[in-house]
Amino acid sequence: MIGFFAAISAVLFWTFSCSIWRKESENLLPRQINIYKNVLASILFLPVVLTISWLSNMSSIFVLIISGIVGISIGDTLYINALKIIGTRKTLSFEALTPIIATTLGTWSIDEIYPQKVWVGSLIVSFSLLMIVRQNTFQKEEPRERNVLGILCAFGSVLCAVLAALLSRVILIGSTLTPLQTTEIRLLSASIFLFLIFKKDFFDILNNRELTKKNHSNLILSTLLGTNFGILFQQIVFKFLPIGIGWTLLSLSPVFALFISKREGEEINRLTIFYSFLSFIGVAITLI
């Protein structure tokens, strides 16, 4: 039950934060938002580094550094770029691929054995979310080229997220590191990587006078919820649940995004509601 409640909390926080990041992408580049949230999040959790046995966990920490760079530095930058182009719900809907990809990788790479109901539930969730993303719900159409770029960014972010989650799962079940410690290691490594690659953007953010107090408040709130608590709860999920089941729960973000879709200029039709309900049935089958 700990893994279940952690997954639902992560989904709620992440979905809410995504809507803020999309709005703030009008003022900052996607990579600048990623730098802002990761640097701030790593600072907020910085005292955690004092609890980590760095020398005795060197190999595990190295794997987590890779996980942080792939999943947070690269994956989140692609993700926020997709948010800016195709919107929150359609970006989140590409997570339809994650249950099947994660379940397959869990079986092949770390020998996690899943009963048939998990595969059936994952397929139902993936099918439901794919049907949601196929619904023509946008009132404002983007040029085809921009839609293709947004789709590629969303798909790339999914691949990065699943690979990073798999690496985290390996460490969480094979070492003494806690979810809070793995969260900070990943955030810190992602922040350092982004600073080294996009040093100019880092200083541009510091010198950006166009950001108002409201912009900063939105970014701080979304960082605390979506990055600090979102990633922490995600790590708790991968500590207590197999990666396939965990990602099936975490992929429900587009369903929760229905509550904010009207604000982003989308109309929800009956089929969208039906497939959202069907996705919950898939999750129920997976967990029963």
If one counts every other C-beta atom within 10 angstroms of the C-beta of residue 19, the result is: 23
Matching residue, tokens 């929800």: 268
Angle between the 270-287 and 243-250 helix axes, to the nearest 10 degrees?
A: 150
- Per-residue pLDDT tens digits of the chain, which is 288 residues long: 788 899 999 988 988 888 888 888 888 888 898 899 999 999 999 999 999 999 999 999 999 999 999 999 999 889 888 877 877 667 766 767 778 888 888 788 777 778 888 888 888 888 887 777 666 544 455 566 667 888 889 889 989 988 999 999 999 998 999 999 999 999 999 999 999 988 888 888 888 888 889 999 999 999 999 999 999 999 999 999 888 888 888 877 767 777 666 665 566 778 878 887 888 888 888 877
Contact 180, 52 (CB under 8 A): no
Residue 25 to residues 37, 147, 176, 205, 248, Cα–Cα distance (Å): 13, 16, 38, 13, 28
Non-local (6+) Cβ contacts of 2 within 8 A are 236, 240
- Three-state secondary structure along 2-51? HHHHHHHHHHHHHHHHHHHHHHHCCCCCHHHHHHHHHHHHHHHCHHHHHH
